[in-house]
Amino acid sequence: MESPRRAAAETHIIALPFPAQGHINPMLQFSKRLVSKGLKVTLVTFIDNELTKAKHGSVVVESISNNSEENFKISTMEDYWRNFSSLVRQKLSEIVEKQGESCCPISCLVYDSIMPWALDMARELGVAAASFFTQSCAVSAIYYHVYKGRLNIPTDVDLVSLEGMPPLESCDLPSSACGLEKNCPAMISLMSDQFSNVGEVDWILINTFNELEEEVMNWMASQCPLKLIGPLIPSKYLSKRLELDDSEYGLSLFKPRTNSFMQWLDSKEASSVVYVAFGSLASLEEKQMEDIASGLKLSNYNFLWVVRESEENKLPKNLMNETSEKGLIITWCPQPEVLAHKSVGCFMTHCGWNSTLEALSLGVPMVAMPYWSDQTTNAKFVADVWRVGVRVKVNEEGIVTKEEIEMCIREVMEGESSSILRRNSEKWKMLAQEAVAEGGSSDKNVERFVAEVTCNIT
C-alpha cells in the first residue's frame, strides 16, 4: 500500500482566490499549510508583479496576465464574471496541459466561495472541489438564511434572532443601511449565492476556528458539513517557528512607500501606539478622514495610520506638520508584523474579516469602525461577543465624529473596560494559537482534509 506521505506528495491542489487582498491572503496561507502537510499547491492569481516570483513557502504561483485589466473594463456584473471565468478556464487548461506531462496531475480545486461557478470547472476537469469561505461562520450563517429565504437584508424587523447568535439589530447585519453602510442588493445576492451549490461540493472550508464560533458553527454543521481551518494568518505569528523562505508582503496588491515605520514603532513605548487601517477597499469620505485625523490628535496617543495612495488626497493638508512626533501616515505595511509589534496597544479597524482575525490572533484590542459588507457583523461580535473592543457610534450624517473617535480610543487604551478587553484579547490569542498548533482543532481539520483529498485520489 502507498504511504500517506507519498500519496500526499502526489496530490496536487489548485487554489483559486478571488483577486482582492482580503481573499488572496487567507488562500495563500491555507496553501502554505497544505504544502507543509506534503501536498503540492499551485495558486492562480491575477497579480503579475515581482511578488509572484518571490518564495511563498513552496507554493507555486501562476499569474493570469496583467492584460486582463483590459478585459475588466466592462459595465455589468454579468460581463465581469463572464470575462473573469473565461480567463480562469483558459489558465486552468494551460496548467492541466503542463501537469499532464508530469507525474502529478491536479486532484482538487479549492476555490473562493463567492465564485460558485468554479465548481463546474472542477467537474469539467474531473477533480474534487472545495469551496473556501473567507468570512466568519456567523456571517456565512446569515447569508445562508438569506439564501434559504428566511431573512431579508435590509430587514424591517427590530431584532433578528438566528440560531447560535446573539439577537442582531439591522445595523449588525451585513450590508445593511446603517450609518456608514451602503446597502447593495447585488452584493447580498452575490454573497447568498455562495450557497447555491454547496450540496454538491466535496468540502466547505471556513477561515475561522471552532472555539471562536462554537455555537453558530454547531448550527451550521447541522445544515451542511464544514471544516473550520483558521485563523489563516502567517504561521510565524502564531508559533515560534519562523518561515525563513517567506516573502514579507505575501501576495500584495499594494506596496509601502518606505519601510521606516518599523524603526518608528521600535522607538515607541510598549502598548503606546494606535494602529489605524481600513483594509484594501474601504474608501472614506473626506469629512470622515478629517474627523479621524482630529480624533487621533485629540486622543494624544502615538498613531500609525495606513492611508492607501488612492485615498491620500483626502487627508487634511497640514496633518503631518502638526503631528510629526506623535503620528506617522503610511500607504501600506505588512499588517500582521505591525499588529505583532509590542508598541501597538490598539487597532482602529474597519473589521474586515482578515483584519479582525489578525487582531484576535495577535491579542490586540480594537476600536471597531465598520464600513460595509460583513464588517458590521464582525464589529458586533468584537464588541459584544468576544468583548475585545468597542464599536464607534455613527451620527445622523453617517459620520463618526472626532469626539467619538477620541472617546473610543481612550476607552480601549486606558478606560474602565481596558483591562477586560486586554484580558479577553490575550485569551483569544492563546486559543487561536492552540487551534492551529499540532493537534489543535483547525490543524486536525486541515489534516482530515488532506487525508480525504489524498484518499479520493489514491
How deeply is 136 buried, as exposed, middle or buried, from its count of CB atoms within 10 A (0-12, 13-18, 19+)? buried
CB of 281 to ligand UDP, least distance (A): 4
Could you tell me the CA-to-CA distances from 280 to 207, 308, 333, 335, 350 in Å, in that order? 18, 8, 11, 11, 10
Cβ proximity to ligand UDP, 26 vs 295, nearer residue:
26
Q: Which three cell numbers stand for residue 178?
A: 446603517
Could you tell me which stretch among 50-58, 100-108, 187-195, 279-287 binds ligand UDP (CB under 6 A)? Answer: 279-287
Sole window of 17-25, 95-103, 170-178, 387-395 interacting with ligand UDP (rule: CB under 6 A) = 17-25
> Site residues for ligand UDP, window 259-278 (CB under 6 A)?
277
Among 179, 327, 334, 345, binds ligand UDP (CB under 6 A): 334
Residue type for position 329: I
Q: x/- string (CB under 6 A) for ligand UDP, residues 218-257?
A: ----------------------------------------
* Pairing verdict, β 168-169 and 327-330: unpaired
Q: Which of 12, 56, 112, 172 is catalytic?
A: 112
Whole-number Cα distances in Å, 446 to 167, 338, 435, 436: 32, 27, 11, 9
Annotation says 246 is catalytic: no
Of 122 and 188, CB closest to ligand UDP: 188
Q: Tell which residue, 150, 153, 151, has the closest CA to residue 175.
A: 153
12 carries an active-site annotation: no
Nearest-angstrom CA–CA distance, 163 and 141: 9
Question: Judging by DSSP bridges, how do beta strands 12-16 and 106-112 pair with one another?
Answer: parallel
Distance CA 406, CA 266 (A): 24
Span of 7-15, 178-186, 201-209, 350-358 interacting with ligand UDP by CB under 6 A: 350-358
Shortest approach of ligand UDP to residue 280 CB, angstroms? 3
Judged by CB under 6 A, the residue of 280, 288, 299, 401 near ligand UDP is 280
Told to check if 279 binds ligand UDP by CB under 6 A, we report yes
Q: How far is the CB of 247 from ligand UDP (least distance, A)?
A: 12
- Applying CB under 6 A, the site for ligand UDP has a residue count of 20
Pick the stretch among 38-46, 328-336, 382-390, 415-423 that binds ligand UDP (CB under 6 A): 328-336
Q: Decide whether 358 or 443 has the Cβ nearer to ligand UDP.
A: 358
335 binds ligand UDP (CB under 6 A): yes
| In the complex, least distance from residue 335 CB atom to ligand UDP, rounded to whole angstroms | 3
Q: How far is the CB of 213 from ligand UDP (least distance, A)?
A: 16
Q: How far is the CB of 40 from ligand UDP (least distance, A)?
A: 25
Does 135 sit near ligand UDP (CB under 6 A)? no
Single-letter residue type at 357: L
Sign of the CA dihedral 238, 244, 247, 249?
A: positive
Does residue 348 bind ligand UDP (CB under 6 A)? no
- The window from 110-118, 182-190, 207-215, 352-360 that contacts ligand UDP (CB under 6 A) reads 352-360
Q: Which of residues 358-377 bind ligand UDP (CB under 6 A)?
A: 358
Partnered with residue 67 across adjacent β-strands are none
422: number of Cβ within 10 Å: 18
**Residue 39 CB, nearest approach to ligand UDP (Å):** 23
Three-state DSSP at 304 gives strand
Greatest Cα-to-Cα distance within the chain, rounded to the nearest angstrom: 71
Q: How far is the CB of 348 from ligand UDP (least distance, A)?
A: 12
Quick one: cell of 321? 506638520
CB 19 within 8 A of CB 27: no
Location of C-alpha cell 505595511: 333
Which of 6-14, 178-186, 193-201, 348-356 is the region at the interface with ligand UDP (rule: CB under 6 A)? Answer: 348-356
Cβ atoms of 215 and 405 within 8 Å: the answer is: no
User: Judged by CB under 6 A, does residue 355 bind ligand UDP?
Assistant: yes
Of residues 293, 15, 37, 295, the one with CA closest to residue 130: 15
From 306, 360, 435, 446, residue interacting with ligand UDP (rule: CB under 6 A):
306
Residue partners of 19: CB distance under 8 A and separation at least 6: 45, 46, 47
Give the integer Cα–Cα distance in Å for 458 and 453.
Answer: 9
Instruction: Count CA within 13 A, CB hemisphere, residue 173.
Output: 29
Give the contacts of 156 (CB within 8 A, at least 6 positions apart).
Answer: none
Q: For the CB of residue 3, give the shortest distance to ligand UDP in the complex, in Å.
A: 36
63-122: which residues touch ligand UDP (CB under 6 A)? none
Choosing from 17, 19, 22, 179, the residue that interacts with ligand UDP (CB under 6 A) is: 22
For residue 17, the tally of other CB atoms under 10 A from its CB is 28
Would you please indicate which residues are annotated as catalytic (active-site) residues?
A: 23, 112
Binding footprint of ligand UDP on the chain (CB under 6 A): 20-22, 25, 277, 279-282, 306, 332-336, 352-355, 358
